[in-house]
């Protein structure tokens, strides 16, 4: 596994690199966004570990740049910013996972392996997911309903994909958090409800047939009937 570490603190980057190499990974360090983009242009990587607090161009902005250029390249944000808002900002920027410093190195390795497994599985999925007149092309990451193209953020896209892969099945909020965010949020968070509302406004609001339905006391279900 070839890993690009984007971290401006040299000592921290060296420690991560040494630890990864002890697990048999090949790791390269980039100290800022410009160097990271140069490294990505020079060779292929299997995953990017990205700090948020970078000089000049932030990790969030760099994440967007990488995601626009490399749609399927897994990105793990590794940062001291641990608030729910920071995590959501990271996921909205296109990150696939988010780990807060300080961290247990074994957890970092486990998350890296999980991301690469998930990426290989997704590459074999059917290219288009459909329900009624709604379509998601997993290769181009485009969404349309009928003849109307719909623009979604990275996290809205991941949420829609999870709904489509589990249509006609009741999904609890905990299931959605676990699979779409891959995080254990505090019990009282309403992040799922917030993002379901964002998604509904884009894929359901202007269409007579509603596809996302609330199940009182359970969570949500995607189906093409009102039953």
Residue 173 lies in a domain: yes
Q: What is the pLDDT of residue 187?
A: 46
CATH of the domain at 151: 1.10.10.10
Looking at the chain, which runs of residues are DSSP E strands? Answer: 2-6, 26-30, 47-50, 75-79, 97-100, 128-131, 134-137, 142-145, 148-150, 171-172, 212-215, 219-222
Residue numbers of the domain that contains 215 = 128-222
Q: 23 with 68, same domain?
A: yes
Q: Which residues of the chain have pLDDT under 50?
A: 124, 187
Q: 216 with 134, same domain?
A: yes
Q: Compute CA distances 191 → 33, 114, 151, 181, whole Å.
A: 29, 23, 20, 10
Q: 38 with 65, same domain?
A: yes
171-172 and 219-222 as β-strands: parallel, antiparallel, unpaired? antiparallel
Q: 151 with 100, same domain?
A: no
Residue 81 lies in a domain: yes
CA–CA dist 100, 145 (Å, integer) = 37
Q: 192 with 147, same domain?
A: yes
Where is the domain boundary, 89, 116, 143? 116
Residue 123 lies in a domain: no
Q: What is the pLDDT of residue 84?
A: 84
Phi-psi bin for 182: left (phi > 0), alpha (psi -120 to 50), beta?
Answer: left
Q: 111 with 133, same domain?
A: no
Where is the domain boundary, 116, 145, 179? 116
Q: What is the pLDDT of residue 120?
A: 58
Residue 122 lies in a domain: no
CA–CA dist 201, 98 (Å, integer) = 27
| Count of domains observed in the chain | 2
How far out from the chain centre does Cα 93 lie? 8
Residue written as token pair 């202007």: 206
Polymer length in residues for the chain: 227
Q: 6 with 112, same domain?
A: yes
CATH of the domain at 87: 3.40.50.2300
Q: 12 with 112, same domain?
A: yes
């Amino acid at each position: 596994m070839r890993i690009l570490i984007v971290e401006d603190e040299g000592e921290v980057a060296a420690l991560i690199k040494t630890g990864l190499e002890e697990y048999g990974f090949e790791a390269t360090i980039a100290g800022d966004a410009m160097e990271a983009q140069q490294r990505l242009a020079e060779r292929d990587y299997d995953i990017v570990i990205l700090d948020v607090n970078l000089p000049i161009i932030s990790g969030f902005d760099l994440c967007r740049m990488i995601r626009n250029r490399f749609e399927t390249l897994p990105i793990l944000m590794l940062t001291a910013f641990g608030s729910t808002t920071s995590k959501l900002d990271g996921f909205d920027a296109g990150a696939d996972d988010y780990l807060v410093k300080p961290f247990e190195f074994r957890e970092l390795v486990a998350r890296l392996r999980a991301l690469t497994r998930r990426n290989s599985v997704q590459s074999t999925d059917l290219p288009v997911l459909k329900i009624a007149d709604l379509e998601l092309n997993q290769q181009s990451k485009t969404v349309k309903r009928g003849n109307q193209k719909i623009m979604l953020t990275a996290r809205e896209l991941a949420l829609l994909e999870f709904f489509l892969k589990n249509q006609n099945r009741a999904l609890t909020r905990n299931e959605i958090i676990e699979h779409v965010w891959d995080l254990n949020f505090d019990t009282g968070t309403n992040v799922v409800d917030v993002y379901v509302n964002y998604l509904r406004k884009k894929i359901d609001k202007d269409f007579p047939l509603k596809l996302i339905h609330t199940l009182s006391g359970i969570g949500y279900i995607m189906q093409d009937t009102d039953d």
